[in-house]
Structure 1
Amino acid sequence: MVVRRRAAPPERCRPSPYGLRPGWDWTARAADAFGRAWHLADRYPYRGTEFDSSFVGIFRVDAADLFSAAPDLVNPAWAEATGQQLQDMVPSYDFHRLEQLPQVLVEAARESGALPAVRDGQMRTARVCGLRAWLHGYRRDQAGSLIPVDAVRWDGGVHHALSVTDDSTDAELAAAARRAEQDAAARGIKLIGASRWVEQLRAARRTAVREQLAGLRDEIAALEDRLKPARKRRTVLVTRILGWDGERDTDTALGRDAGLSHTAVRTLRTALEADQEDRGGEEGGPLAGLFR
């Protein structure tokens, strides 16, 4: 008999408990229940065949139980972390080796039978569940009566953002962050990451200035390309007038008429004189190309 596996659902429809994905946060019991239900559905086509298999779970620990048993693992800096920083911490606590966990949790799991059996008789790792929710709960508890809100998400920050410019000094940024925190606290909010927020505002404004400079550079380069024929024509005319050897055509006077410095005119005059001395054939001297 040929057994065909059913097509797996699309990835977006599979909130796997085996990986903490955006939008999902599992308790240990919920993740275990989901794993068992998923296994039942996944093995259904193979039930009664040689491909049938029993469920083998993994050891899961709730973050609340982990930090309750090992409070020294709690970093007080988490109370001041932004939502993104808390999110970035999740993968680092995803898996733990059993010897890294408080042994009281491991022994309790063995006694209760919660520590799954494996083929070689030894479970080496554990998954910490509910970490994201616990981190946000810890930050909320540490804020006391205030509500922790990331500065970048605070709708009251528009007024304070206007006080930050590309010219703001570090001291002015620190003052702006303090004012924002005080304003937020008066509204019952603990502002998280205010210093980083104002630094990002200044950086964004400075980036905009640099982009303006780059745009102006490109604009000037385009204008200079269009001016090249006119500048060449000006050199030709100045050189022709210098060839007249008129008394009124001093370097200063001719430079004023042509929009050149007197040193630029002097350079052309010197080149013309050298050209006239060296010219002896049809090809002419070094300035002959200007008149073609």
Structure 2
Amino acid sequence: MGGVSEEKPWPDTIRAGDCEQHEPLVRRVLAPNPSPYTFTGTQTWIVGAGRDVAIIDPGPTGSGMSIGDPPDANGAGHVDAILRAVEGQSVAAILCTHTHRDHSPAAMPLKQATGAPIIGCAPLALSDDGPRADSAFDPDYAPDRVLTDGERIAGDGWMIEAVATPGHTSNHLCYALMESGALFTGDHVMAWSTSVVSPPDGDMAAYMASLAKLYDRDDRVYYPAHGPAVAKPKQLVRGMLGHRRQRERQILRELEKGPRVVPDMVKHMYKGLDPRLTGAAGRSVLAHLLDLESRGRVARDADCWRLVA
């Protein structure tokens, strides 16, 4: 997770609801749901400049976002803004990278308004009694077609390929725009913050493998669901891999001092952390511990973790 400001962790220059052109085939509509977990808000990407378009990560509908968000910062009016942006074009597909509630709920009202199918990630609904750092899962997500790794869909002048990237969630997909070398990375890779990996569905080993998978690709630019575009993808992914390995080493150093519980590790590892993000930090530490446990490096007694001799 990235550092955020206590006062306002998002720029004033970006206006929700505006449609901004990023390249000939790519536009963005920002949802009005800024928060410490969504940065400026969810970015809905529109692909296509001809007769039809694809909509990636349609976003929220106004039903609430992350725990602790104010009730007026939840995406109200976002569907209307998307429909204004695609006026005069048909919608060929509504694509979701994953099913957190800041990404997929608007898929159904957009389908009802346009007749377009919902295509992309598999449905997923989990209960999790741990402290959530991001949005809960969308229980109403119902795709018409689930894409697997490497499957493609096409429209007028564009073709999109699914790239499976589990880790942040088990059903996470990125989408590659074949014509331009752009990759829509959802919550898997963002420039403003590292992605929260929250068990039981979030899996650190899968997340690291997915980062390595993207590092081996030759994408030109990343368009994440939150935060600015990434102009140097390999450099960022290399840094993210290094950051996660450094966190793992921090955890092992903490456990060298003796058995520890997660809150105590967070206190020592995340100096000066915004208190609102303590739960997120704990989930990521837990994800690392579960990965280390699967590799035989650590063990636990109830909630207390220790090194394996």
Q: TM-score range by the shorter chain?
A: under 0.3
TM-score normalised to the size of structure 2? Answer: 0.25
TM-score normalised to the size of structure 1? Answer: 0.27
Larger radius of gyration, structure 1 or 2?
1
Structure with greater helix share of residues: 1
